[in-house]
Protein backbone atom coordinates (compact mmCIF):
# COMPACT_ATOMS: atom_id res chain seq x y z
CA UNK A 1 0.00 0.00 0.00
CA UNK A 2 2.89 2.39 0.73
CA UNK A 3 4.20 2.02 -2.82
CA UNK A 4 0.80 2.90 -4.25
CA UNK A 5 0.53 5.88 -1.93
CA UNK A 6 3.96 7.11 -3.08
CA UNK A 7 2.93 6.79 -6.73
CA UNK A 8 -0.13 8.97 -6.14
CA UNK A 9 1.68 11.53 -3.97
CA UNK A 10 4.21 12.07 -6.75
CA UNK A 11 1.35 13.01 -9.08
CA UNK A 12 0.06 15.73 -6.72
CA UNK A 13 2.23 18.45 -8.26
CA UNK A 14 1.76 20.22 -11.61
CA UNK A 15 5.50 20.39 -12.33
CA UNK A 16 5.92 16.66 -11.78
CA UNK A 17 2.96 15.94 -14.06
CA UNK A 18 4.50 18.15 -16.74
CA UNK A 19 7.81 16.31 -16.37
CA UNK A 20 6.09 12.93 -16.72
CA UNK A 21 4.21 14.15 -19.76
CA UNK A 22 7.46 15.22 -21.42
CA UNK A 23 9.23 11.99 -20.49
CA UNK A 24 6.44 9.99 -22.10
CA UNK A 25 7.86 11.23 -25.40
CA UNK A 26 11.21 9.59 -24.56
CA UNK A 27 14.39 10.03 -22.57
CA UNK A 28 15.39 13.63 -21.81
CA UNK A 29 18.35 15.45 -20.33
CA UNK A 30 17.83 17.73 -17.36
CA UNK A 31 18.78 20.68 -19.60
CA UNK A 32 15.79 19.94 -21.86
CA UNK A 33 13.43 19.94 -18.90
CA UNK A 34 14.92 23.14 -17.50
CA UNK A 35 14.37 24.93 -20.79
CA UNK A 36 10.79 23.76 -21.33
CA UNK A 37 9.67 24.27 -17.74
CA UNK A 38 11.62 27.52 -17.33
CA UNK A 39 12.86 26.37 -13.94
CA UNK A 40 16.35 26.28 -12.43
CA UNK A 41 18.34 23.05 -12.40
CA UNK A 42 17.93 22.64 -8.64
CA UNK A 43 14.12 22.75 -8.87
CA UNK A 44 13.94 20.35 -11.81
CA UNK A 45 16.38 17.96 -10.11
CA UNK A 46 14.36 18.03 -6.88
CA UNK A 47 11.17 17.08 -8.75
CA UNK A 48 13.02 14.38 -10.70
CA UNK A 49 14.38 12.94 -7.44
CA UNK A 50 10.84 12.84 -6.05
CA UNK A 51 9.60 11.02 -9.17
CA UNK A 52 12.53 8.60 -9.04
CA UNK A 53 11.95 7.81 -5.34
CA UNK A 54 8.29 7.17 -6.11
CA UNK A 55 9.23 4.75 -8.89
CA UNK A 56 8.06 6.83 -11.86
CA UNK A 57 11.42 7.53 -13.51
CA UNK A 58 14.85 6.01 -14.05
CA UNK A 59 18.07 7.92 -14.58
CA UNK A 60 21.44 7.40 -16.18
CA UNK A 61 24.58 9.50 -16.31
CA UNK A 62 26.44 10.29 -19.51
CA UNK A 63 29.48 12.41 -18.76
CA UNK A 64 28.29 15.41 -16.79
CA UNK A 65 24.68 15.08 -17.93
CA UNK A 66 21.85 13.17 -16.29
CA UNK A 67 19.18 11.64 -18.50
CA UNK A 68 15.75 10.59 -17.30
CA UNK A 69 13.16 8.22 -18.69
CA UNK A 70 9.91 6.62 -17.57
CA UNK A 71 10.42 3.53 -15.41
CA UNK A 72 9.02 0.66 -17.48
CA UNK A 73 9.67 -2.01 -14.83
CA UNK A 74 6.79 -1.20 -12.52
CA UNK A 75 3.96 -3.32 -11.22
CA UNK A 76 0.75 -3.97 -13.14
CA UNK A 77 -0.83 -1.12 -11.19
CA UNK A 78 2.07 1.19 -12.15
CA UNK A 79 1.73 0.19 -15.82
CA UNK A 80 -2.00 0.85 -15.76
CA UNK A 81 -1.45 4.27 -14.21
CA UNK A 82 1.22 5.04 -16.81
CA UNK A 83 -1.15 4.27 -19.69
CA UNK A 84 -3.93 6.29 -18.06
CA UNK A 85 -1.63 9.29 -17.61
CA UNK A 86 -0.23 9.04 -21.12
CA UNK A 87 -3.73 9.10 -22.58
CA UNK A 88 -4.99 11.97 -20.44
CA UNK A 89 -1.95 14.22 -20.04
CA UNK A 90 -1.43 14.34 -23.80
CA UNK A 91 -4.80 16.04 -24.25
CA UNK A 92 -4.03 18.94 -21.89
CA UNK A 93 -3.14 22.32 -23.47
CA UNK A 94 -0.10 22.78 -21.21
CA UNK A 95 1.26 19.40 -22.34
CA UNK A 96 0.86 20.37 -25.99
CA UNK A 97 2.64 23.68 -25.33
CA UNK A 98 5.45 21.85 -23.50
CA UNK A 99 5.91 19.40 -26.40
CA UNK A 100 6.03 22.29 -28.86
CA UNK A 101 8.61 24.11 -26.72
CA UNK A 102 10.69 20.93 -26.41
CA UNK A 103 10.66 20.36 -30.17
CA UNK A 104 11.78 23.94 -30.81
CA UNK A 105 14.57 23.66 -28.23
CA UNK A 106 15.82 20.33 -29.54
CA UNK A 107 15.82 21.65 -33.10
CA UNK A 108 18.11 24.54 -32.16
CA UNK A 109 20.19 23.29 -29.24
CA UNK A 110 22.06 20.39 -27.77
CA UNK A 111 22.83 19.99 -24.08
CA UNK A 112 26.33 18.64 -24.49
**CATH numbers and ranges of domains, the chain:** 2-98 (1.10.10.10)
* Continuous H helices in 1-112: 2-10, 14-23, 30-37, 41-53, 76-89, 93-108
Give residue-wise pLDDT tens across range 19-77: 999 999 899 999 999 999 999 999 999 999 999 999 999 999 999 889 999 998 877 88
Q: What is the pTM of this model?
A: 0.90
Amino acid sequence: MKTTSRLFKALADETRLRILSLLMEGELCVCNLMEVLRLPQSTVSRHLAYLKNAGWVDDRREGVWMYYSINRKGSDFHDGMFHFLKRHLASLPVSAADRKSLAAFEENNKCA
